[in-house]
Amino acid sequence: GENVEQHPSTLSVQEGDSAVIKCTYSDSASNYFPWYKQELGKRPQLIIDIRSNVGEKKDQRIAVTLNKTAKHFSLHITETQPEDSAVYFCAASIRGANNLFFGTGTRLTVIP
């Protein structure tokens, strides 16, 4: 099956700075890469996703980039705010399957 690795496990940034979280995947057949945000005690919620036919996708302060050759993808959050503090999970899904393989998560803390 797919193996997704995520780094760093914790990340602290000053409010207004940017944050970058990186993931690698192992199976070249993976073609869907979502990012989920999980606030303390809450359920994971999708914040952005990208498919393998696209190299970059943006949604306001959030962007995701995908490098299929290197099998890695990254989440970029600009102008961070305290409400961005949460655990972020990357995931990958193999073409033709519904299953998601998750990374181990990054705890982001935005310091006011």
Partner 1 sequence: NAGVTQTPKFQVLKTGQSMTLQCAQDMNHNSMYWYRQDPGMGLRLIYYSASEGTTDKGEVPNGYNVSRLNKREFSLRLESAAPSQTSVYFCASSGLPGQGSNEQFFGPGTRLTVL
Span interacting with partner 1, options 11-19, 54-62, 68-76, 93-101, rule CB under 8 A = 93-101
19 vs 27, 32, 54, 65, 89, CA distance in Å?
Answer: 26, 22, 22, 13, 14
Q: How far is the CB of 44 from partner 1 (least distance, A)?
A: 5
With H, G, I as helix, E, B as strand and everything else as coil, classify residue 57. Answer: strand
Count the site residues for partner 1 by CB under 8 A. Answer: 21
Q: What are the two backbone dihedrals, phi and then psi, of residue 69, each rounded to the nearest 5 degrees?
A: -65, -45
Residues 11-70 that bind partner 1 (CB under 8 A): 32, 34, 42-46, 49
66: which strand partners? Answer: 73
CB closer to partner 1, 46 vs 111? 46
Task: Quote the CA–CA distance of 74 and 16 in Å, as a whole number.
Answer: 19
User: Is 100 near partner 1 (CB under 8 A)?
Assistant: yes
Please report, as ranges, the residues that interact with partner 1 according to CB under 8 A.
1, 6, 9, 32, 34, 42-46, 49, 89, 93, 98-105
